[in-house]
């Protein structure tokens, strides 16, 4: 049976961030993930996770300036990337996190070749630094309909980047929402690249609501299939609840053992 984590920048947003951690635990989740938690001290984040006995999975690198959506592949911004990555690495270590999602950023068509070289070089350096602290790195293909000009949007390109980095500490974060929009064939592509995939995220297409049966993706089949294929890691619930109160959107997950704590 899949193990589900709560993405606290999507779920429980009706509360302040620290209260989202408490709410995730109360709803029955045993792990959380999210973006870089600007304005929340690592000690407070860790304390909230520990008191709820929650694992902290991935945290994103900062998004940079408004409209950039990351710095990892931006030519000429390497110094800023290194500083932001160091900040994220320190934070993830402080909260006992397991991984960092390295946001590539938005790149114009004429910069893609240079951007790839920058991204590969940045990841090589970062992979060694993270490995020394037993923290994994993730890269994620993100569709360009949701994030126009995002550098990394194809699963196949992500696999090629990982090969070029040449580290056993860089993995793919495989979000069914993005993969469905960019080409579909989500199970066959998952099967092909499963050795590189260390984390999954899910939401329904096209509305990005909860992963039930009200959309393009047949999630009961998908979850059964990744189980059959022996996927051993977490599935992140990165969806926009269709209800004002997040708890009211969680009916779909009860059959997978995520039930409110008593």
| Rounded Cα–Cα distance for residues 65 and 242 (Å) | 29
* Active-site entry in 33, 116, 210, 238: 238
Query: Which H or E element spans position 6?
Result: strand 3-7
Show the tokens assigned to 45. Answer: 């984040």
Please name the residues in contact with 166: beta carbons below 8 A apart, sequence gap of 6 or more: 124
Q: Write phi, then psi, for 192 (nearest 5 degrees).
A: -65, -40
* Active-site entry in 68, 140, 188, 210: 140
Show the tokens assigned to 190. Answer: 């998952």
Whether residue 188 contacts residue 216, with contact meaning beta carbons closer than 8 Å, is answered with: no
Residue 156 known to be catalytic: no
Residue 216 known to be catalytic: no
Q: Are strands 3-7 and 55-60 parallel, antiparallel or unpaired?
A: unpaired
What amino acid positions are annotated as catalytic residues?
140, 238
């Amino acid at each position: 049976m899949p193990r589900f984590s709560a993405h606290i920048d999507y779920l429980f947003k009706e509360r302040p961030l620290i209260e989202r951690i408490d709410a995730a635990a109360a709803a029955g989740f045993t792990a959380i993930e999210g973006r870089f938690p600007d304005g929340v001290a690592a000690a407070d984040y860790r304390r909230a996770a520990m008191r709820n006995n929650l694992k902290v999975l991935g945290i994103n690198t900062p998004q940079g300036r408004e409209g950039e959506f990351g710095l990892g592949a931006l030519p000429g911004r390497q110094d800023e990337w290194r500083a932001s990555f160091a900040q994220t690495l320190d934070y993830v270590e402080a909260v006992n996190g397991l991984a960092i999602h390295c946001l590539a950023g938005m790149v114009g068509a004429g910069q893609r070749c240079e951007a790839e070289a920058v991204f590969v070089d940045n990841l090589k350096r970062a992979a060694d630094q993270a490995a020394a602290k037993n923290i994994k790195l993730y890269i994620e293909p993100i569709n360009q309909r949701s994030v126009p000009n995002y550098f990394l949007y194809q699963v196949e390109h992500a696999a090629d980047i990982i090969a070029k980095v040449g580290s056993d500490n860089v993995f793919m974060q495989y979000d069914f929402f993005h993969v469905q929009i960019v080409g579909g064939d989500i199970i066959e592509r998952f099967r092909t690249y499963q050795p590189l995939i260390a984390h999954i995220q899910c939401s329904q297409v096209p509305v990005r609501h909860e992963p039930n049966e009200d959309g393009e993706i047949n999630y009961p089949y998908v979850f059964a299939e990744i189980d059959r294929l022996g996927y051993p890691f977490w599935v992140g619930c990165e969806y926009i609840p269709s209800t004002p109160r997040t708890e009211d959107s969680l009916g779909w997950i009860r059959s997978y053992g995520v039930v409110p704590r008593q």
